[in-house]
Chains A and B, each alone.
Chain A
């Protein structure tokens, strides 16, 4: 109790005052386009912040409709951190307690641990129609949603058994932040990364006990726990980056974005020492190739038509160029650009029954583009985008790293640096 009085409720870093009310952000907000109940980035962000400083009762629970996609921030010509302002307002002022459902959705790692242990039982059960209807009715998780399947063997377990021992054979080393999705649902992506990195001459190591990056905890307002995990992760990153001079790479754009930007902006967890050396695998690889330190050789017979979808957080990071440039290096790829649009899932957002309509409405223009693109599959760097697109279109979605792994001629690549 006592602590609450001491929380400065009335201070602000004044960033919202840079707003000149040009309303450009409002035009770029994907939610506003489909849901008139949402006041939009300008009203919820800079305008609303000013009113909330006058009286916290101006906080409007409709702010939870924000996807935190940060497309408004990318659009703003004056550098207003609109998305951060909105998320911080939710953290500071929301009186609504997270529901049981929100806890289940948010705790991707705990639920993941349980589920993957019992994967053979859980998967068919979660897939059953009656079960999905119960989840819909009781937990308000929309019944249209298909849960990602849980893998039988966790990535971490696989790594320890089959990969760890070989990693010290290499001269150069990186650490890998795999994230919950790779660990519990889709270890193949992690295996693909190791295949490429090893081929490139790098040993891949896991961090000392990584924790879930916490993005879902933040968006479900479980801030205490998110902060705890953030502190833990920053320490773990430091051990790799500072102590061992090993950069950390990841295959999840959302995880890496959260660790780089949301930790300091939303949770107040400092990450200066690790930020520059924490990045996406595709960016790491591209920069190696671009600076002439690495050459990849691709299979001659690989032929695919691929469309790349830019996840919101990639847009914000400005990093989709790395992934697309890598894909375009593969000779057999017929590359299709999609207009950069939000797919609507925004992590756990789209799983909630009350958001289902908004979520699908936001994604519709993207789905239409994909359906009419006549591609073999879609590439993207974000796992939740993958679920959303696979659920809402007839196309499969692959991670650029997996595509690269598939197209890579490992032996030829290794030969280049071994001689």
Chain B
């Protein structure tokens, strides 16, 4: 997929989260030669394990004015440049009888100062526009919150970087930073596919490793003081709410319900964890209890709604340099020029921030890189749309479609996921239109497109690109079909079987903390199919 791989680049970016992918895009658009390296797959770090809230900034308006102002600006930009990754759902900040209604006016004022449009709603009206909301609410404010799909956002940035000449390597882990005196000049990589080591060289090395940036900096011999904060979330089986629902009070645990694609998410808890625990994403029973207890206050129907999975992510929070104790943690963007800070040239770190401020983070990082390389080119990422979000010349409007066939579901789902790029998928062939994943409407054609165009190495990657296996049945029906297609394309049958076992194991992990009710029926049934019919053994993995 990456043609002529060279060994030397202007910029090497470590980390295939949204920050790394965004920075790769920005650098490539400014004409730099770019290599992006990621140890697993795109969006496997915090980017793939968050809430997907397109903040309006309202959540931070009272406590952190700067973040709030940043959010609303980027919110408006993402609606434009990434409309296929964004759902403009709007959000409600509700006041419940146990909350102080006086906070509402303070909140509205703070939003105004940050430039966030608000509208105070009559509780009765709020109940009508959002029927799932807790009917006991005594106040509601409407804000321009939204939802953003982190997988699509990251992949679109990576795709556009590739279109502009960047080279993308997944399954490549940085094991060391090559240094020459006080200068970082390259990276030592371990290729997980081939189990081989390889070095690449670059004028600037960018550490966009999220929470793992702490470790990557260490490899370069510099120290960043990071404080991992774990947050857990629950995914519900379908969309209960159409608007984001928040509590109108100081930010707290489990007080946001975000609708996203076919599901909705309640989150998050927040817990400081030791650095050596950042790869342990276990969700405890206490976490699940808190999430349900608080979630039901936002929307009572959650109490009887099926829960699909639980998962956790780690926020990359950085302590201010002058505060090693970590008491004054910044939630803002952190850009470190290690030449100025530590005397190590050719190495910079970009971290902190949020999913939805990735573009601004990338812009700031790229500005610094350009300054160092003496490249004089303006940032264009706020204006130029991501691939898939362009205004299409042939709008695939619903009116012109075949409305009388089953293919409608896969076609419409593909459009929702890939925006205008769906034209590469839709071909009207009955066989190709048939569904691999019935819950999420993923067709054979879409799977093939993802395998060929979107850097897919295994089934789990395929899930991040298409939503295969993300629906109610969590892979029960689609996993084997998708494994078959993947096998046809490039896998050896033996590997495909391991891959399938890995995929199911990963699905199972997320279901484990919430195994009751309908969920447990489903799991039992799935294991009958895969163990009973297909003879897959637990030790396949």
Contact = CB atoms under 8 A, between A and B. Distances in A.
B532 interface: no
A50 B304 contact: no
B131 A11 contact: yes
Interface in A341-359: none
Taking residues whose C-beta sits less than 8 angstroms from the other chain, chain B's interface range is 35 or more
Given A19-B472, A21-B473, A61 B403 contact: yes
A11 B409 contact: no
A17 interface: yes
Contact of B438 (A5, A8, A42): A42
Contacts of B237: 17, 50
Contacts of A18: 518
Contacts of A10: 130-132, 239-242
Contacts of A8: 128, 131
A51 B405 contact: no
Contact of A37 (B129, B404, B522): B404
B502 interface: no
Interface in B394-447: 398, 403-406, 408-409, 412-413, 416, 435, 438-439, 441
A79 B241 CA distance: 25
B406 A20 contact: no
Interface in B339-394: none
A60 B305 CA distance: 25
A50 B398 CA distance: 19
B405 A58 contact: no
B262 interface: yes
B516 interface: no
A17 B409 contact: no
A18 B518 CA distance: 6
A78 interface: yes
Interface in A51-92: 51, 53-55, 57-58, 60-62, 78
Contacts of B413: 51
Contact of A57 (B132, B242, B398, B405): B398
Nearest to B238: A50
A352 to B, nearest CB: 14
A152 interface: no
B473 A20 contact: yes
A39 B477 CA distance: 16
Contact of A20 (B241, B398, B441, B518): B518
A47 B438 contact: yes
B305 A37 contact: no
A22 interface: yes
A22 B526 CA distance: 9
Contacts of A6: 128
A346 to B, nearest CB: 19
Nearest to A19: B472
A393 interface: no
B401 to A, nearest CB: 10
A43 B438 contact: yes
B152 to A, nearest CB: 15
A12 interface: yes
A14 interface: yes
Given A10-B131, A51-B262, A43 B406 contact: yes
A14 B406 contact: no
A42 B406 CA distance: 12
B397 to A, nearest CB: 10
Contact of B439 (A21, A36, A61): A21
B522 A21 contact: yes
Contact of A47 (B240, B261, B439): B439
B521 interface: yes
B473 to A, nearest CB: 4
A54 B332 CA distance: 33
A55 B417 CA distance: 13
A78 B521 contact: yes
A22 B128 contact: no
A39 B407 CA distance: 9
A120 to B, nearest CB: 42
B103 interface: no
Contacts of A19: 472
Interface string A200-220: 000000000000000000000
Which residue, of A5, A23, A43, has the highest number of chain B Cβ atoms within 10 A? A43
B525 interface: yes
Interface string B220-255: 000000000000000001111110000000000000
B149 interface: no
B476 interface: yes
B396 to A, nearest CB: 12
A377 to B, nearest CB: 39
Contacts of A23: 477
Contacts of B238: 12, 16-17, 49-50, 53-54
A31 to B, nearest CB: 12
A62 B306 contact: no
B472 A17 contact: yes
Given A18-B518, A21-B473, A62-B404, A51 B128 contact: no
B363 to A, nearest CB: 32
B533 to A, nearest CB: 13
A22 B525 contact: yes
B301 interface: yes
A39 B406 contact: yes
Contacts of B304: 14
B529 to A, nearest CB: 9
Contacts of B408: 58, 60, 62
A19 B439 CA distance: 11
Given A37-B404, A51-B441, A17 B306 contact: yes
Contacts of B131: 8-11
A293 B16 CA distance: 80
Nearest to B131: A8
Interface in A227-257: none
A17 B305 contact: yes
Contact of B262 (A20, A46, A50, A57): A50
Interface in B195-227: none
B404 A61 contact: yes
Contact of B305 (A14, A42, A51, A62): A14
B125 to A, nearest CB: 9
Contacts of A12: 238
Contacts of A55: 412, 416
A18 B525 CA distance: 13
Among A6, A16, A49, A53, chain B packs the most CB atoms within 10 A around the CB of A53
B409 A60 contact: yes
Nearest to B477: A21
A242 B406 CA distance: 47
A101 B305 CA distance: 41
A20 B526 CA distance: 9
B256 to A, nearest CB: 18
Given A20-B521, A50-B262, A61-B403, A5 B128 contact: yes
Interface centre among B398, B435, B522 (most CB of A within 10 A): B522
Interface of B: 128-132, 237-242, 261-262, 301, 304-306, 398, 403-406, 408-409, 412-413, 416, 435, 438-439, 441, 471-473, 476-477, 518, 521-522, 525
26 contacts: A5-B129, A8-B128, A10-B131, A10-B132, A10-B240, A11-B132, A11-B301, A12-B238, A14-B304, A16-B238, A17-B518, A21-B438, A21-B439, A21-B473, A21-B525, A37-B404, A37-B405, A43-B435, A48-B409, A49-B238, A50-B238, A50-B472, A54-B238, A54-B261, A55-B412, A61-B403
Given A10-B131, A11-B132, A60-B409, 19 more contacts: A6-B128, A8-B128, A10-B132, A12-B238, A17-B237, A17-B518, A20-B476, A36-B406, A38-B406, A43-B438, A46-B472, A47-B438, A48-B409, A50-B237, A51-B262, A51-B413, A60-B406, A61-B403, A61-B404
- Across the A-B interface, the 4 shortest Cβ-Cβ residue pairs: A8-B131, A39-B406, A17-B306, A21-B473
